[in-house]
Structure 1
Amino acid sequence: MYSSHTNLLGRNARSAFGTALIASTFAWSALARAQDSPVIKINAEAERSEIKVTPLRGGVSMLEGSGGNIGVLVNPADKFMVDAGISISKDKLSRALAGLGPAKVSRVVNTHWHWDHTDGNPWLHDAGAEIIAHPRTAAYVAKTERVDDWSYTFHPLAASGQPKVLVSTRKQYTVGGEKIDVVAIPPAHTDGDLYVHFKNADVLFVGDTYWNGIYPFIDNEHGGSIDGMIRAADLSLKMAGPNTIIIPGHGPAATRAELEEYRAMLKTIRDNVAKLKGQGKDRDAVIAAKPSADYDAKWGQFLIDPAFFTRLVYDGL
């Protein structure tokens, strides 16, 4: 059964991901030339994109096309969501959710504070959903926050979209026959990351601690670090069994073997950068040394290019 799901995800999710991300790559390149923020271009891509729904297992689906990956568990009484996407996608996301069944969304878990995972909170709350997040996520979306690496300042979410149910360690839910673990992660991508594990379906949403097939963004300014990302991958591997479907924050659904490959990539590049930094080389010299060269052909072709990723690793050590 898992093999058929894996083939479906490999064929459909990767195709959708590739199309959307290639478009985003061109947008990012144009953006870099214009000295503009990627947030503006990613919003524009979300405005253009349709929402693609990929059934996973046990009533859980993955929705793509509104920033980060979104998860939805459907049962006759309600829907349980992982992440809220970008608000500009409201109408298209509403239609996609309606296509999964008539039940309303009762809960939304934010895996972290970034806008492409939280911007839809207000309209979902206004439609009846409870918003769940880490305390640090709640703090960030309640005030003005600057991400210098994106050249962008985020304003507070509307009060209705600010999370009221806070998870600092672990919280469990039962929705229909599905048991759900919401688990706080030690600082990794940010200092307010959460995992969501649909235990019966064996589908694990890990947010932006994992970007499948591409170098990840690390929010050093908000508690993230390369070492934290490696620890988060280790935690994901402990939580995942041999047949777990692993859903990254960006990129196609993954297997355990793909997550192991990602973890090895992070560790090798981290060690390469640390060695050069330990020799007294400044950031520009480390970037020029190309410590990620063995991985760039596969991992460095999309949003975070090799130089950008090396800078993030260097700054986080």
Structure 2
Amino acid sequence: MNRTLFFAATTLAMSLSAPAAAQRNFDDVQITTQEIAPGIAVLFGAGGNIGVSHGEDGTVLIDDQFAPLTGKIQAAIAELGATPVQYLINTHWHFDHTGGNENFGKAGATIFAHNNVRVRMAAGGTAAGNPTPPAPKVALPVVTFEQGVTLHVNGDTLNVISTGGGHTDGDSVVHWVDGNVVHMGDLYFKIPGYPFIDTNSGGNAINAMNTLDSVIRMIDDETKVIPGHGPMSNKAELVAYRAMIGQVVDLVKALREQGMSKEEAIAAKPLADFNRGEGFIGPDAFVGAVYDSLVASGG
């Protein structure tokens, strides 16, 4: 396995384990920066990839990883020549993407997210079987929306779009129209293993496919694609990812139509011929999530 992808998969597994995250020493985490277009960058560290828009109108951050990393993230932003974060967008509610909300909220950032992100953060819940406590008020999104919101900043148009989620019920993608960049959040993993469909948070594989289809129609072959985890990507790789999900859905649907239960479908090992490496989400977990998604969708 490619060392970069192995590190990304290991980081994600730790990110989505609340006890591991609580015990982890973040001192050794380095925030690395990749400038992908004028005024647009992506930060890699521990947790979800961070998007940055910076320029004369201020700094917009997309996701913020873990609270102990806030200082390092702020330093990386300053090294870009950017001002402190004015606006913060959460692509969804999971703590490896919203863990820094409290710190950035206290520092004066206005937080944006889908309605369900605020609801789930306020209530607390589970992600990958791990508990997340209710978030303090200062960490909650202040501006919420159902379908989207547009920011006109730094000479670009940032469309924050929700088309029904899929990873959770509160996913958003962020599209820089002029910069031709899209941040996918965890609707797209570019790491070994399978997609994480968080059915406990309203995730659904059918909705994920529909959302990916919407994004694919919106972008072109030159679009720079920021995945939720893993290195930078592009439209062709996103299309292949969407096609893989569709293949799995078709396989699991066929097993359901044969009368198999969820447990029987998992035991049938329909993904035995797939070669996606070892990752945070294995084939059995993904088959189970797809089965649950089909049941929920009536498919």
Q: Residue 268 of structure 1: CA displacement?
A: 0.4
CA distance in 2, matches of 1:184, 1:222: 15
Per the alignment, residue 20 of structure 1 pairs with 7
Selected match of 2:240 from 261, 277, 281:
261
- The residue type equivalent to 1:200 in the other structure is D
- The residue type equivalent to 2:293 in the other structure is G
**Secondary structure at 1:84's aligned position in 2?**
coil
**1:23/1:45 contact within 8 Å kept:** no
Q: Which has the higher helix share?
A: 1
Per the alignment, residue 150 of structure 2 pairs with 172
Percent of matched pairs sharing the same residue:
33
**For this pair of structures, how many residues does the alignment match?**
292
Cα distance 1:23–1:193, how it changes in 2: closer, same or farther (>3 A)?
closer
Selected match of 2:183 from 199, 205, 213:
205
- The residue type equivalent to 2:199 in the other structure is N
- The residue type equivalent to 2:232 in the other structure is A
CA distance in 2, matches of 1:281, 1:303: 26
Per the alignment, residue 62 of structure 1 pairs with 42
User: Residue deviations 1:111-141, cap 9 Å, x none?
Assistant: 1111111111111111121000001101111
CA distance in 1, matches of 2:263, 2:44: 36
Q: Which moved more, 1:154-163 or 1:205-214?
A: 205-214
**1:24/1:303 contact within 8 Å kept:** no
Q: Residue 213 of structure 1: CA displacement?
A: 4.0
Selected match of 1:236 from 205, 215, 232:
215
**Secondary structure at 1:280's aligned position in 2?**
coil
Per the alignment, residue 227 of structure 1 pairs with 206
CA distance in 2, matches of 1:151, 1:78: 37
- The residue type equivalent to 1:70 in the other structure is I
CA distance in 2, matches of 1:188, 1:23: 23
Q: Residue 177 of structure 1: CA displacement?
A: 0.9
CA distance in 1, matches of 2:61, 2:280: 26
Q: Residue 142 of structure 1: CA displacement?
A: 0.8
**1:171/1:181 contact within 8 Å kept:** yes
TM-align CA RMSD: 2.2
CA distance in 2, matches of 1:294, 1:15: 20
Question: Superposed, which structure 2 residues align to 1:166-315 within 5 Å?
Answer: 166-214=144-192, 215-295=194-274, 297=275, 299-315=276-292
Cα distance 1:58–1:273, how it changes in 2: closer, same or farther (>3 A)?
same
Q: Residue 185 of structure 1: CA displacement?
A: 2.1
**1:24/1:41 contact within 8 Å kept:** no
- The residue type equivalent to 1:206 in the other structure is M
- The residue type equivalent to 2:53 in the other structure is L
**1:81/1:105 contact within 8 Å kept:** yes
**Secondary structure at 1:72's aligned position in 2?**
strand
Per the alignment, residue 85 of structure 2 pairs with 105
Q: Residue 235 of structure 1: CA displacement?
A: 0.9
Q: Which moved more, 1:71-80 or 1:41-50?
A: 41-50
Per the alignment, residue 124 of structure 2 pairs with 144
Q: Residue 69 of structure 1: CA displacement?
A: 0.7
Cα distance 1:243–1:103, how it changes in 2: closer, same or farther (>3 A)?
same
Per the alignment, residue 83 of structure 1 pairs with 63
Unaligned runs of 5+ in 2: 295-299
- The residue type equivalent to 2:87 in the other structure is R
